[in-house]
Amino acid sequence: MGGCASKKQEEEAAAAAAAAAAKEGEEKTEGEQKAEGEQANEQPKDEEARADTMVDAAVLEKLEAGFKKLKDSDSKSLLKKHLTQEVFDKLKTVKTPSFGSTLLDVIQSGLENHDSGVGVYAPDAEAYNTFADLFDPIIEEYHGGFKKTDKHPPKDWGDVDTLGNLDPNGDYVISTRVRCGRSMQGYPFNPCLTEAQYKEMEEKVSSTLSGLSGELKGQFYPLTGMTKEVQQKLIDDHFLFKEGDRFLQAANACRFWPTGRGIYHNDAKTFLIWCNEEDHLRIISMQMGGDLGQVYRRLVTAVNDIEKRIPFSHDDRLGFLTFCPTNLGTTVRASVHIKVPKLAANRAKLEEVAGKYNLQVRGTRGEHTEAEGGVYDISNRRRMGLTEYQAVKEMNDGIAELIKIESSL
């Protein structure tokens, strides 16, 4: 496997070797040990360093085989498009400095799933710099021209009181949701996390969230040891997340499941946090109806509160860092479930308005699903190169326009 994926085997092998060495050491004379120690100290330091930064042969073999298959496939992924032979040759022997992640860790999901739309994940925060020759063009294409010379603006939630209710009469908008992702500073992303780190993170998150008050006050439910009753209750509320899909599985994002994973929700069930699902934290505010202002204000209050207690991974150029490059920047996805049966019959018009306001139109149950009864899941598409407020405002203005058109048809 790649750098992170092979760590577990390396740790086990190292522990066994250490035990054997200790036993052998007991049987040696003090003089022999001293002589060996002096000899070992003479080993040049740069040789050790070189061994540490080298990608092992098994990983290279896997990379070469996977790359050949991808090249010969009819995959439409951004990975296939941007992983040229030149980029591949340049990056295949590189590792991230702190966690030793390799190109295989970055691309193995896309190598295994040729039907991926994107096909890459960042195994740790440093991967975005180490493998920039691959990530930068993918980010630029996905995020609508965010070039490698561009810089994401500083965080700005804007004037939260300028957003209101999109549909006061409740004729069109069924529910409203705004979410963002956050990574905890000092920890790698899923593929590199150890079991101990998962437990430590869950403990930190759980104790931090227990300090939330007012309408955010609620309870944390760890997935480990969860009773059938609690599980069923969370399924009924559509709060429970399952182990990752095949794309995440292939990216090694589901190791030690369900250790370190958990769900927090407030008493009113309008505020939800997923711990260690795809990202370290998914922070979600939602409710029935179209009051985007209320949903947004709740999210902003929560994020600001949590941020005081948990430092988040942030990059001056890319914004907030996440496991998947599609969520970088603001990481904000503001969405509504909206019923527009007349526009549903005129999909071209719907897509035209969506394009104008940079909206993404999905079926009722999310990506790759159909619209049931003219109900769509519509959200902002852009997350980079604009502020949090601008991202949500785009969705707000686009939905207002769709409602105006639907009501005039």
CB of 259 within 8 A of CB of 224?
A: yes
401 annotated as a binding-site residue = no
367 annotated as a binding-site residue = yes
CB of 327 within 8 A of CB of 222?
A: no
CB atoms within 10 A of CB 60: 16
Annotation marks residue 333 as catalytic: yes
Annotation marks residue 278 as catalytic: yes
298 annotated as a binding-site residue = no
Annotation marks residue 179 as catalytic: yes
337 annotated as a binding-site residue = yes
392 annotated as a binding-site residue = no
- 4, 324, 381, 388: the active-site residue: 324
109 annotated as a binding-site residue = no
143 annotated as a binding-site residue = no
Annotation marks residue 255 as catalytic: no
203 annotated as a binding-site residue = no
Annotation marks residue 282 as catalytic: yes
303 annotated as a binding-site residue = no
d(CA 76, CA 155): 33
340 annotated as a binding-site residue = no
178 annotated as a binding-site residue = yes
73 annotated as a binding-site residue = no
- 182, 255, 333, 381: the active-site residue: 333
Determine whether 408 is exposed, middle or buried from the number of CB atoms within 10 Å of its CB (0-12, 13-18, 19+). exposed
- 4, 102, 179, 277: the active-site residue: 179
- 30, 42, 48, 367: the active-site residue: 367
130 annotated as a binding-site residue = no
114 annotated as a binding-site residue = no
- 282, 298, 382, 383: the active-site residue: 282
333 annotated as a binding-site residue = yes
The three state secondary structure string of the chain is: CCCCCCHHHHHHHHHHHHHHHHHHHHHCCHHHHHHHHHHHHCCCHHHHHHHHHCCCHHHHHHHHHHHHHHHHCCCCCHHHHHCCHHHHHHHCCCECCCCCCEHHHHHHHHHHCCCCCCCCCCCCCCHHHHCHHHHHHHHHHHCCCCCCCCCCCCCCCCCHHHCCECCCCCCCEEEEEEEEEECECCCCCHHHCCHHHHHHHHHHHHHHHCCCCHHHCEEEEECCCCCHHHHHHHHHCCCCCCCCCHHHHHCCCCCCCCCCCEEEEECCCCEEEEECCCCCEEEEEEEECCEHHHHHHHHHHHHHHHHHHCCECEECCCEECCCCHHHCECCCEEEEEEECHHHHCCHHHHHHHHHHCCEEEEECCECCCCCECCEEEEEECCCCCCCHHHHHHHHHHHHHHHHHHHHHC
- R_g over Cα of the chain: 24
- 326, 330, 331, 387: the active-site residue: 326
362 annotated as a binding-site residue = yes
Annotation marks residue 381 as catalytic: no
336 annotated as a binding-site residue = yes
53 annotated as a binding-site residue = no
What are the two backbone dihedrals, phi and then psi, of residue 382, each rounded to the nearest 5 degrees?
-85, 135
- 278, 388, 394, 406: the active-site residue: 278
**Binding site per annotation, positions:** 175-179, 238, 282, 333-337, 362-367
**Binding site per annotation, positions for ATP:** 175-179, 238, 282, 333-337, 362-367
List residues with catalytic annotation. 179, 278, 282, 324, 326, 333, 362, 367
